């Protein structure tokens, strides 16, 4: 039992507790039964604290023999703090104790329990009624205590008097002391604090408070040994500029241009930094609160909306379903609430609790000093960060850690990051010095344990073991360079004449003469052993040098260094001469060249790159900028190239497509393939502007230069420049073929098709995903769902539409021969399932409020000024009107004469374009016109500089057809991108890999099937179906991806396969002659996780039979007919 007297001394710091010791009382333990649930009650005499909990509820932890307790700790008058405790699965009697806190401020630690590191979890797309065991739970090693604080968060309830991190610490301290009083067997154990996000404030402050109380109350020490903080928010002064740095430099998805980056850094220096300095110098609440608002408005807010990305995982769009929120519904279940002993309604993130931190200006305040104190006290400290998170990104976190003041700070800062491995596989980069470690985790968003659970558990165990198993930092051995000074003069004299032309050709001659290191290149390519030099065998050297000239041309790229080649002079000598590219004049005086070393960039579109590399790799390259002008035209078009270091170059040139109305602004996409690559400003500063902002000079006036540039010319010109530049840069003009590739999805897929159609002879291999071609029809189709709703005068609740989609998936799942949650045959679904059968089925969706940065997930809350939307509880049954809307969307557009105008989305696809919005004024659902389609109508058809249609008054289905027809005719030769004669591409040996998610909710997958059929009919008009298919398979292959959504996985069909090796496939096809017959796609979740499916080449369709582990590819005429369309609403052919 803990000392009553010293506990009394500790208790004096808490409001509401007596200041003088009462007469000695005895602790009380009792059992109370309420509504069939037995509660354990412990009342601590010394403090008056009361603990009430349920023993072994059977919820979450189901491992036999592992105990759990859940309930409340009273930490003050009407202050009931929720806790959930789980014994260690192994050796609980000796295992350490760790406490987990989520951030916010004001977010529940149940997030960590159910989404990250607790004993159970809900997989994406899994049941909401039954969590599954978490193999990598932190209680595999330690006894785990999850705490909801401050009051009002999660299941905690009562009076919340916490207004800052500093005022939160005493209550957390009291809870831990009271926990020890109730469970004294844990008080001598090693104790660790683990937290994330706003835990960058919580963790250092809570740990320091414990250390301070340990000194003040020697008899009641908490044996704290470890602190771990995941993607923490520590110091605004250090981390605010990292918002811009990360978006510009991150390896997953760079989202801003160089000029945008510079602009935001200037905003930080001129606005944010002065406000933070005032906060730090004055320390007043008003100054710090002002700094919070200034920095949000200048940096964080605007940057969060520069593109559609999830601020907690930049790899995903803003509506990313991961980590899944399924557990929230689970914790609102009456049966679960009763079983665990909860007495309040669960709140994932409490607005009221979080908002109390704002007046104190807690958010921008620095906790770097507290962190330094904790590290200096000898506490083993791990600061780790998932490298796909933006909101508390690893760039800023690493900058913070490098500023920690402790005895080993100088040595820590000097260390470079080394590989961090799990089971022999590199999962991140780290450095350690003394008791401080920093770990960057590859391919992980804000909640690292969710994305990389095995790595997270390993790091947790290593930290709790007080560093006894932490790897030491890496000390790289210096490069050993042979000293060739003794042969320098000889080489120059006897190889000089032979090499001079060669060196000039590759732009290295001057460097060769000036830099001794290039002698290594000469000796390599002349194949001259040192012994020959010593023997002065001049004739032998001359002969070898002569034989080595051609070899030098072929291998100079791998023998030279980046420093050698990345010079303005070398780039200038590599530029195509005026007249080499018809109509283009390059401007040598505009060239810049800068070497970039070990950059975390270069990943292509798919998850796995050639050779199995991932986006976690680093690359060194030459960043080149140059401008050109069109002959006779007073314009200037800057372009950027990323040229890999010579040893990485594999004789490839690569371009990637963009998305929406934006061309790709990143020039580094080819680095992972050993390819030079580029990006273009397209004449309208496409690095900083989307094309839709430049399509009009003003109302009624089209910017045709920008339109053609976006349509196809800018990328074609970029390739025409980039190919000869790359060859000459590396000196491979005559040595080997340069393989040229293009890869893109969505509008990037349209861009890929534009290059095949318009510049086909320039490319060897093209990967085109879900192309947004047939631009007029495609864009106006986004307006169709709203037009259907207006025509029916019915606006369905979004929950009803979700129910229709999910019910359709359930009904059609097994039609392909296997039940796996995936509609692999939407054609069979169309032929065999009637949507009307769903009428009367019930649906329920909880009410929700969302903000621009999103609450939940234990992240930092959005500060004041962010926008929010509200959806009430949706509880009802599917009606005939709901079905009519869904059926109309799936059927596609017809005019009033019943003639088809365009394709609908495949049955079972998400009905996102039909989703309505809640009107608070009328308390009803209202039309929500997708801006993707509305903006096309206003700017491209009506030629009005408006971002969306305000309404659809007077609009009929015929109006939509007219809009399509106008756009098709007006932009036929620029944006439609449907030329079906691909002879120039095919005849020069080009290979086209075309894929489309079968359940794409944005671009109907049948649009791709129709284009394949158009090419077949134009290029092989007299061939039989079998002959045409065989001929096309030699150079153009099309694949439907079952269950796949728009250029990514489908949250409604998460068990479907995803194509991850497309570039490796096209490279094998082009360079090695390995023609694919099927397409590799990998299942990432569900019962078949890890399965690699060999997808069928169109027009064959998959069908499982019996218990087979693979499907057959069958020809099904009835099914193929369901993919075949005639667009008789138009007089012109629609390819």
Active-site annotation, residues:
746, 1000, 1046
Using DSSP, state whether 10 is helix, strand or coil.
helix
Distance, in Å, from the CA atom of 287 to the CA atom of 1126, rounded to the nearest integer, reads 66
Alpha-carbon gap, residue 504 to 728, rounded angstroms: 10
Q: Which helix (H) or strand (E) holds 1071?
A: helix 1062-1072
**What is the spatial distance between Cα 197 and Cα 396, in angstroms, rounded to a whole number?**
12
Distance CA 1011, CA 1135 (A): 6
Using DSSP's 3-state secondary structure scheme, residue 910 falls into: coil
The residues, any chain, with a CB within 8 Å of residue 21's CB and separated by 6 or more, are 5, 8
**551 φ, ψ to 5°?**
-65, -35
Contact of 193 with 228, CB cutoff 8 Å: yes
Q: Give how far the C-alpha of residue 993 lies from the chain's centroid of Cα atoms, to the nearest Å.
A: 24
Per-residue tokens: 18: 């007596």
CB count within 10 Å of CB 751 equals 30
Q: How far apart are CA 149 and CA 157, in angstroms?
A: 10
Alpha-helical regions (H) of 762-873: 775-781, 784-792, 798-812, 826-832
The helix/strand count (H/E) of the chain reads as 39, 38
Q: Which two tokens stand for residue 300?
A: 């964080």
Helix (H, G, I), strand (E, B) or coil at 565: helix
Rounded Cα–Cα distance for residues 69 and 802 (Å)? 37
Q: Cβ(861)–Cβ(349) under 8 Å?
A: yes
Closest CA to 119 of 199, 182, 51, 57: 57
- Residue 908: strand, helix, or coil: coil
Smallest CA-to-CA distance from 608 within 171, 1062, 1091 is with 1062
Q: How far is CA 128 from CA 406, 801, 806, 880, in A?
A: 47, 19, 14, 27
Residue labelled with tokens 């989305």? 905
105 prior amide bond cis, ω within 30: yes
Question: At CA 361, angle to CA 355 and CA 363, rounded to 5?
Answer: 80
Runs of H (alpha helix) within 653-797: 704-708, 714-730, 747-758, 775-781, 784-792
Instruction: Name the E strands within 342-424.
Output: 380-386, 418-422
Give the Å distances, CA to CA, from 281 to 66, 288, 363: 51, 10, 16
3-state secondary structure of 507: coil
- Spatial neighbors of 1131 by CB under 8 A, at least 6 apart, are none
List all residues 6 or more positions away from 149 whose beta carbon is below 8 Å from its beta carbon. 81, 101, 109, 156, 162, 168, 171, 172, 175
E strands within 968-1049?
A: 991-997, 1036-1041
Residue pair 431/411 in contact by the 8 Å Cβ criterion:
no
Rounded to whole angstroms, how far apart are CA atoms 489 and 146?
72
Q: How far is CA 480 from CA 523, 528, 763, in A?
A: 16, 20, 41
Within 8 A by CB and 6+ apart from 17, the residues are 11, 47, 48, 76
């Amino acid at each position: 039992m803990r000392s009553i007297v010293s506990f009394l001394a500790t208790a004096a710091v808490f409001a509401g507790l007596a200041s003088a010791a009462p007469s000695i009382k005895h602790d009380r333990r009792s059992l109370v039964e309420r509504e069939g649930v037995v509660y354990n009650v412990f009342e601590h005499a010394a403090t008056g604290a009361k603990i009430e909990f349920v023993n072994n509820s059977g919820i979450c932890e189901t491992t036999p023999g592992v105990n759990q307790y859940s309930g409340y700790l009273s930490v003050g008058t009407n202050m009931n703090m929720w806790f959930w405790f789980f014994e260690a699965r192994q050796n609980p009697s000796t295992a350490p104790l760790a406490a987990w806190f989520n951030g916010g401020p004001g977010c529940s630690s149940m997030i960590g329990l159910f989404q990250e590191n607790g004993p159970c979890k809900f997989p994406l797309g899994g049941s909401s009624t039954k969590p599954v065991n978490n193999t990598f739970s932190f209680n595999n090693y330690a006894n785990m205590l999850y705490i909801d604080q401050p009051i009002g968060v999660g299941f905690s309830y009562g009076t919340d008097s916490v207004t800052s991190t500093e005022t939160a610490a005493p209550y957390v301290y009291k809870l831990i002391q009271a926990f020890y009083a109730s469970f004294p067997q844990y008080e001598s154990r090693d104790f660790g604090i683990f937290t994330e996000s706003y835990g960058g404030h919580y963790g250092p402050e809570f740990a320091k408070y414990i250390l301070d109380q340990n000194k003040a109350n020697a008899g009641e020490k908490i044996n704290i040994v470890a602190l771990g903080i995941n993607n923490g928010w520590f110091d605004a002064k250090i981390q605010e500029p990292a918002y811009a740095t990360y978006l510009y430099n991150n390896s997953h998805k760079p989202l801003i241009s160089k000029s945008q980056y510079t602009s935001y850094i200037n905003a930080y220096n001129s606005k944010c930094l002065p406000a933070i300095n005032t906060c730090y110098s004055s320390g007043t609440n008003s100054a710090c609160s002002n700094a919070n608002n200034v920095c949000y408005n200048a940096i964080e807010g605007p940057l969060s909306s520069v593109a559609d990305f999830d601020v907690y995982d930049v790899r995903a769009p803003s509506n990313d379903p991961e980590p899944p929120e399924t557990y929230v519904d689970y914790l609102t279940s009456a049966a679960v609430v009763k079983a665990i002993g909860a007495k309040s309604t669960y709140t994932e993130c409490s607005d009221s609790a979080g908002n109390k931190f704002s007046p104190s200006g807690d958010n921008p305040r620095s906790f770097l000093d507290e962190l330094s104190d904790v590290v200096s006290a000898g506490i083993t400290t791990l600061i780790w960060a998932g490298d796909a998170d933006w909101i508390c990104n690893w760039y800023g976190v690493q900058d913070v850690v490098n500023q920690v003041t402790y005895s080993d700070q100088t040595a820590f800062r000097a260390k470079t990051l080394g590989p961090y491995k799990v089971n022999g596989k590199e999962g991140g980069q780290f450095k350690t010095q003394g008791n401080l470690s920093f770990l960057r985790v590859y391919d992980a968003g804000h909640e690292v344990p969710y994305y990389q659970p095995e790595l997270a558990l390993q790091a947790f165990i290593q930290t709790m073991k007080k560093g006894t198993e932490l790897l030491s930092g890496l000390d790289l051995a210096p490069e050993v360079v042979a000293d060739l000074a003794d042969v320098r003069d000889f080489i120059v004299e006897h190889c000089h004449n032979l090499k001079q032309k060669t060196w000039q050709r590759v732009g290295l001659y001057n460097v060769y003469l000036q830099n001794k290191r290039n002698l290594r290149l000469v000796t390599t390519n002349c194949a001259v052993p040192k012994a020959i030099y010593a023997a002065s065998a001049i004739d032998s050297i001359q002969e070898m040098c002569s034989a080595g000239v051609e070899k030098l041309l072929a291998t100079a790229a791998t023998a030279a260094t980046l420093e050698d080649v990345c010079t303005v002079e070398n780039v200038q000598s590599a530029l195509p001469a005026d007249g080499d590219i018809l109509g283009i004049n390059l401007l040598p005086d505009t060239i810049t060249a800068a070497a970039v070393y070990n950059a975390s960039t270069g990943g292509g579109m798919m998850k796995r790159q050639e050779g199995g590399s991932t986006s976690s790799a680093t690359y060194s390259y030459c960043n080149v900028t140059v401008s050109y002008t069109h002959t006779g035209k007073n314009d200037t078009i800057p372009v950027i190239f990323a040229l890999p270091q010579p040893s990485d170059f594999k004789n490839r040139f690569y371009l990637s497509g963009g998305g929406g109305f934006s061309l790709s602004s990143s020039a580094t996409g080819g680095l992972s393939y050993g390819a030079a690559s580029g990006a273009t400003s397209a004449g309208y500063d496409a690095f900083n502007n989307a094309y839709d902002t430049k399509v009009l000079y003003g109302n009624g006036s089209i910017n045709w230069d920008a339109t053609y540039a976006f349509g196809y010319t800018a990328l074609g010109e970029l390739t025409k420049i980039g190919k000869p530049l790359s060859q000459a840069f590396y000196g491979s003009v005559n040595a080997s073929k340069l393989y040229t590739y293009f890869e893109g999805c969505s509008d990037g897929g349209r861009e890929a098709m534009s290059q095949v159609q318009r510049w086909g002879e320039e490319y060897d291999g093209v990967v085109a995903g879900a192309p947004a071609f047939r631009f007029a029809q495609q864009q106006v189709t986004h307006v169709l769902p709203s037009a259907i709703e207006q025509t029916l005068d019915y606006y369905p609740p979004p929950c009803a539409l979700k129910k229709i989609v999910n019910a359709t998936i359930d009904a059609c799942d097994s039609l392909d021969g296997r039940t796996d949650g995936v509609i692999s045959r939407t054609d069979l679904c169309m032929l065999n399932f009637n949507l009307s059968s769903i009428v009367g089925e019930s649906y329920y969706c909880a009410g929700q409020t969302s903000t621009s940065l999103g609450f939940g997930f234990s992240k930092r809350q959005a500060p004041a000024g962010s926008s929010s939307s509200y959806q009430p509880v949706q509880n009802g049954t599917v009606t005939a009107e709901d079905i009519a809307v869904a059926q109309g969307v799936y059927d596609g557009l017809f005019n009033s004469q019943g003639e088809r105008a365009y394709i609908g989305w495949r049955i079972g696809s998400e009905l996102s374009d039909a989703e309505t919005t809640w009107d608070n004024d009328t308390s009803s659902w209202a039309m929500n016109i997708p801006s993707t389609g509305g903006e096309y109508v206003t700017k491209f058809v009506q030629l009005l500089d408006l971002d969306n249609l305000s309404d659809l008054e007077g609009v009929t289905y015929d109006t939509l057809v007219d809009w399509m027809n106008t756009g098709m005719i007006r932009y036929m030769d620029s944006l439609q991108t449907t030329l079906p004669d691909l002879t120039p591409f095919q005849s020069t040996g080009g290979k086209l890999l075309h894929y489309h998610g079968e359940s794409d909710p944005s671009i109907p997958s049948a649009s791709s099937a129709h284009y394949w059929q158009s090419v077949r009919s134009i290029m092989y008009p007299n061939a039989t179906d079998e002959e045409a298919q065989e001929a096309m398979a030699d150079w153009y292959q099309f694949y439907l991806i079952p269950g796949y959504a728009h250029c990514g996985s489908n949250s409604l069909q998460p068990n479907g396969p995803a194509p991850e090796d497309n570039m490796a496939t096209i490279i094998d096809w082009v360079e090695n002659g390995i023609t694919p017959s099927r397409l590799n796609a990998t299942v990432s979740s569900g019962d078949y996780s890890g399965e690699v499916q060999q997808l069928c080449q169109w027009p064959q369709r998959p069908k499982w039979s019996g218990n087979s582990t693979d499907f057959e590819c069958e020809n099904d005429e009835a099914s193929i007919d369901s993919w075949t369309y005639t667009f008789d609403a138009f007089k012109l052919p629609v390819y």
